[in-house]
Amino acid sequence: MSERILKVNKKLRHEVSKLINSTIKTEAIITVTKVETTMDLKSAIVWISIYGGEERESLNEIEEKRKEIQKIINKNMFSKKVPLLSFEIDHSAAYAQRIDEILKNEKNQS
């Protein structure tokens, strides 16, 4: 991955995180875990984790605000091309926790 893409990912992660926290009204804790931007800068997947609330409901609310978030990102990014954002739920933390539980159970049964 190029240095440029890494910088774009970092900037997008920071900016989108601020915008989600300021525009989405929910009791859930929403965290931007990572951003994956395509090499041509046409699109970016924003991976989010949601704690303490209904995932689908929070994701739907983010999707409803996507155009507003995109507009602000377009204004704040100092780049010719600004990727089109899409949002996905990141289940990697829950998956890792489940694997850890399985391994602990196996160890206790031995």
User: In the prediction, which pLDDT does 12 show?
Assistant: 95
Dist. CA 62–CA 85, nearest whole Å: 11
CA distances to 10, 46, 49, 102, 103 from 107, in Å: 39, 36, 29, 9, 6
Token pair 């601020």 is found at: 18
Residue 110 has pLDDT above 70, yes or no: no
In three state form, how does the secondary structure of 54-66 look? CHHHHHHHHHHCH
Q: What is the pLDDT of residues 54-107, one digit of tens each?
A: 888 889 999 999 999 999 999 988 788 899 999 999 987 777 778 878 888 877
CB 55 within 8 A of CB 89: yes
The per-residue pLDDT for range 20-66, each reduced to its tens digit, is: 999 888 888 999 999 999 999 999 999 999 988 788 888 999 999 99
- Reply yes or no on domain 3-109 having CATH 3.30.300.20: yes
